[in-house]
Amino acid sequence: RLKDRQGDQTYALNRFGDEVNRLFGVMNNQLYAHPYLAGDAYTIADMISYPWAVLWESQGQDINEFKHVKRWIDELGERPAVQKGMAVGSEFAMDLDNMSEEEQAKLRKLLYNQRARPAPDA
C-alpha cells in the first residue's frame, strides 16, 4: 500500500485507530437508545456515516465491541437505495497491490503534498 512507503507512521496510525474507536463508541451509545443516528428516522446523518462505518475492519476495529453499530450497519446494508449508492463508482476501484512502482509514484504525487493555492488578487 502507499502508506508503507511514507516512513514510520506508527503514531498517526495509533492516533487514528483510537479516534475511530472513540467515534464508534459515540455512535454505539446513540444507537443503543435510537434506531438511527439522529433519532427515530433515517436521515442524512445515517447516509453520510454508513460508507465510513462499513470500513470498520480496515480501520482496525472489532465490530463485535459495538453491537448497536453492527445492528445499524446490517440494517442499513439491506436497504436497496444504500446498496445502489454503495455500488456507485465500483468500476473505478484500483488494486494498489498490482500497480507498478511508476503508477504508484504518479498516484502518490496526486494524493500527497497538495497545498492550497492563494486566490488571485481582485
Query: In the prediction, which pLDDT does 3 show?
Result: 54
- HEC profile for 6-39? CCCCHHHHHHHHHHHHHHHHHHHHHHHHCCECCE
pTM, two decimals, is 0.75
Query: In the prediction, which pLDDT does 112 show?
Result: 84
Quick one: how many helices (H) and strands (E) in the chain? 5, 0
Per-residue pLDDT tens over the stretch 52-93: 999 999 999 999 999 999 999 999 999 999 999 999 998 888
Separation of alpha carbons 97 and 104, rounded Å = 9
Long-range (24+ apart) CB contacts under 8 A made by 16-21 are 16/59, 17/59, 17/60, 17/61, 20/59, 20/60, 20/61, 21/61
Question: Per-residue pLDDT averaged across 18-30, rounded?
Answer: 97
Separation of alpha carbons 84 and 5, rounded Å = 34
* Residue ranges of domains in the chain, CATH in brackets: 2-111 (1.20.1050.10)
* Mean pLDDT estimate for the chain: 91
Separation of alpha carbons 94 and 76, rounded Å = 26
